[in-house]
Amino acid sequence: MSEYFAAADLSGLPPEGLAVVGFSGGADSMALAHWLLGKLPRERLVLAHVNHLLRGEEAERDQAAAQAFAQKLGVRFALLREDVGALAREKGLGLEECGRQVRYAFFHSLVKGENDRVLTAHNAQDNAETVLLHLARGTGLSGLCGIPPRRGKVLRPFLSVRREEIEAYCRERNLPFVTDSTNLTGDFSRNLLRRQVFPVLEGLNPRFVESVLRAAELLSRDRDCLEELSRQLLERARLPWGLEGKLLLDAGESLGLRALGTYLREAGCRDLERRHLESCWQLLVSGGALSLPGGVAAQCRQGVFYAWKPAPARPFSVEVSLGETALPGGQVLVLVKKTGKSGEEAPKIHNSFFKNALDCAIITGRLRSGSVLAARTRQPGDRFCPVGQREERSLKHLFQQARVPAPCRDRAVVLTLDGRIAWCQGLGASREFAPRETESCLLPKVREGDGNFENG
């Protein structure tokens, strides 16, 4: 027997844990399951079958065949029966998209261990079809990169294996795969590509599929490079509140829009489309505000771009101590002691440190004397002199000077000692409580409850 699947890739599969195969019973999944059995212990394999209840007796036949094959191999079989037609109508989704969501939700429910993985049998033609479909719909660079060989716990070892090789493998080993009758009609877009478009393109270039995959691989490298550059841009543009708009504009739309997209998703924005990003880009240019999917609002004022989920700010005042203190509204105040001794606690001497650090000796000395350290929201008449300033000013004036977005000001945490402002989130420490030396300091931080970010 000849050697098959030299192009298959199992590099992402851990040496232990479950290998859950998305198992329709068709040639691709049948070949994958049988091939894996020669490489993995039988107890690691799980064949996971979804009956979408769309094809009547044929669907029942496929389920029975899949279960019988699992029993013949002596491996575990997992079954989900789901009325995808009814669910698609309920959710307002197409059948293909709804079926995909159902399948992957089921597969992921089976891989609870850290080393468990889902393996699907997508092949080279599937990958090329995906690229063409995305191209027909007007995709960007990511869509032209095709199906990722790995996404989270999902592995696709056959992405570079042609369908003809898979079917030859099944014939040579007499594997009883089933054929979905919908694959023989033009009812779905992929079937139109397989039956009408691919024969024409392969007539022009017999190695058309390989050419598409090579192009997708090259574009994937370009995408990865751009994503890394945009990540670096995003980190440079981050402010205590929001992003420095000028840095994004100067970087240009290609990187700037990518950085904006990452930031907006961090803020809770879902189902972002190109038009949403372009509207946000316009905010960077001319200022203003808009609403985005997921209940997220965005604005650009004084060159600062900020996105948030609007919620009424509720005033609070709570006594705090060194370490971590939970605050109303889901935030956590962290007061970290930094010392000048060698070792992990040695402070990093940079502008952010000097701006935010408090004198540990002053704070702890007063606490021992009965002083009260409290965290609260701003109050009318609040004034203090931050490090780097020469005189006291109102919080309103300081917020404007520091370009803190208006929605953030009522949420900003103010740290007081016996009523005197020692530190304010986004503005830094008061000169009155600034360290006289760096050997022993307190470094306040506010962590959001979801752990997404911190700011000083």
Cα separation, 262 vs 257, whole angstroms: 9
**Residue numbering of the annotated binding site:** 24-29
Cα distance between residue 385 and residue 16, in whole Å: 59
Nearest to 46 by CA among 28, 66, 60, 65: 66
CA atoms within 13 A on the CB side of 339: 5
For residue 326, give the H/E element and its range: strand 323-326
Q: Please give the radius of gyration of the chain, using alpha carbons only, rounded to the nearest integer.
A: 29
**Of 214, 423, 234, the residue nearest 334 (C-alpha):** 423
Do the beta carbons of residue 19 and residue 45 sit within 8 Å? yes
The number of residues in the chain equals 456
Token pair 């203190």: residue: 325
**Is-contact 156 120, C-beta < 8 A?**
yes
CA distance 234 to 258: 9
Q: Whose CA is closest to 363, among 296, 429, 310?
A: 429
Cα distance between residue 267 and residue 284, in whole Å: 17
User: Residues 139, 140, 142, 146: is their CA dihedral positive or negative?
Assistant: positive
Partners of 119 in beta bridges: 21, 155
19-22 and 117-119: which strand pairing?
parallel
What are the start-end ranges of the H helices in 177-244? 189-192, 198-204, 208-237
**247-253, long-range: CB within 8 Å, 24+ apart, which pairs?**
248/284, 248/305, 249/284, 249/285, 253/281
Determine contact, residues 394/382, Cβ cutoff 8 Å. Answer: yes
The packing angle between helices 208-237 and 124-136, to 10°, is 60
The Cα-based distances of 240 to 210, 237, 249, 399 in angstroms read 48, 10, 19, 12
Binding residues for ATP: 24-29
Neighbouring-strand partners of residue 447: 332, 454
Residue 351 in tokens = 């502008």
Relative to beta strand 154-155, strand 454-455 is unpaired
